[in-house]
Amino acid sequence: MNRIAHLTILGSTGSIGTSTLDVVARHPGRYRVLALTAQRQDDALFEQCARFRPRYAVLLDDDAAGRLAQRIAAAGLDVQVLGGIAALERVASLPEVDTVMAAIVGAAGLRPTLAAARAGKKILLANKETLVMAGRIFMDTARQHGATLLPIDSEHNAVFQALPRDYAGDLAASGVRRILLTASGGSFRDTPLSDLRQVTPEQACAHPNWVMGRKISVDSSTMMNKGLEVIEAHWLFNAPADAIQVVVHPQSVIHSLVQYVDGSVLAQLGNPDMRTPIAHALAYPERIEAGVEPLDLVKVATLGFSAPDFSRFPCLALAYRALRAGGTAPAALNAANEVAVAAFLNREIPFLDIPRTIETVMDAVTPSAANTLDDVLGADAAARAAARELVQRAAPAPAPRQP
């Protein structure tokens, strides 16, 4: 019998976090949750604490942490409640923790994920921004401290499974021609371009295949999600931009492919359920039950593929541009996107202003070397400021008061 693995789940109330807890609950003799964290969802985190009894619960928002502490005490639960970014870093690097699920959405996940790398943890990486913003810094830190990195995005997990087991970061030496990342095309894959001017947040968040958070759902509808994954794939697999191709695959059954020089193409298939890559990474190199329905290819019947339309999805082109520019350009891309998506979800700007805002910021902010975390965070702050200024200019003026 394997010894029990001790887990910290960063972002436990989000879609990846809740799916991770679902898999963990299926294997009570194999996993023990030591820490759960969220941004400000204290009600959801309390329910998780009551069920999984972690040693620590962390909320980034101090007010939410205060409310949770009161409820934990009233319920008599033996859970220590902490607040703030330093607490996130602490629970990501606890000596007794074996595995860290890095599932915090956005730039907020960068510091605790880096802390886990410095502590040499097994990191299940679902936070895109860690690699997009600070890919070289994170990968160097992981190598220096002996951290194990396993990708959770369904696409990168599929590539990981399709590459040779002993892959060491050299595509040519492994006989790989290119990596093919599949994309569903999101909510507006077939929507006439003229109709995109009137898109609502509710429409953008209604993904046809996957159940995801609001920010990631919007990123999928603009295909920025896929653009960020291209940058991730560059760092995860040491692949140049020209060796990473995006293919639109509406059924979301083939999660990604690896094309070899001998003509072979290896693919990983499965139902669109994040519990599959989560279970794969949790138990790697073993396999465990994930609670996912087996794939029925007869029921699927047809698998379709097409090239992405860059006029429909300019965010994908902007991500390739940022990857090729290098340095702090991907951090600026990510920061501008986070601001623009938040503004769209708050109904401050229309859907089509998301790529316009990002492109304007990228034109205005000159990329520099990303040698330190301060370099990255400085570029992030500058891009956010520029994007917020654009959003404020675009926001409609308040209606005049009626006499």
Across 80-105, average pLDDT: 96
Residue 106, pLDDT score = 76
Let me know: does 355 contact 315? Beta carbons within 8 Å. Answer: yes
DSSP single-letter state for residue 400: P
Residue ranges of the chain that CATH labels 3.40.50.720: 5-151
User: Which tokens hold the place of 325?
Assistant: 């520019």
Query: Under CATH, which number does the domain 326-394 receive?
Result: 1.10.1740.10
In percent, the amount of the chain with pLDDT more than 90 equals 85
Residues of the chain with CATH 1.10.1740.10: 326-394
For the stretch 321-347, pLDDT in tens is 999 999 999 999 999 999 999 999 999
Task: Work out the pLDDT band at 399, boundaries 50, 70, 90.
Answer: very low
Q: What's residue 401's pLDDT? A: 52
Reported confidence tier of residue 162, pLDDT bands at 50, 70, 90: very high
CB of 218 closer than 8 Å to CB of 341: yes
Residue 174 pLDDT > 60, yes or no?
Answer: yes
Average pLDDT, the chain: 93
Write down the pLDDT at residue 214.
83
Tens digits of per-residue pLDDT, 367-386? 999 999 999 999 999 999 99
In the three-class reduction of DSSP (H, G, I as helix; E, B as strand; rest coil), residue 75 is classed as: helix
Q: Which two tokens stand for residue 389?
A: 């200024």
Of 3.90.1300.10, 3.40.50.720, 3.30.70.360, 3.40.630.10, the CATH number of 5-151 is 3.40.50.720
Q: The pTM is what? A: 0.91
Of 189-203, 236-250, 275-289, least confident by mean pLDDT is 189-203
Kindly state the average pLDDT of the residues 110-139.
95
Phi, psi torsion values for 302, nearest 5 degrees: -130, 135
Residue 314: pLDDT over 70: yes
Q: pLDDT value at position 210?
A: 57
DSSP classification of residue 328 = T
80-83 and 176-183 beta bridge pairing: unpaired
* pLDDT value at residue 198: 87
Instruction: Say if residue 219's pLDDT is above 70.
Output: yes
Instruction: Answer whether 349's CB lies under 8 Å from 340's CB.
Output: yes
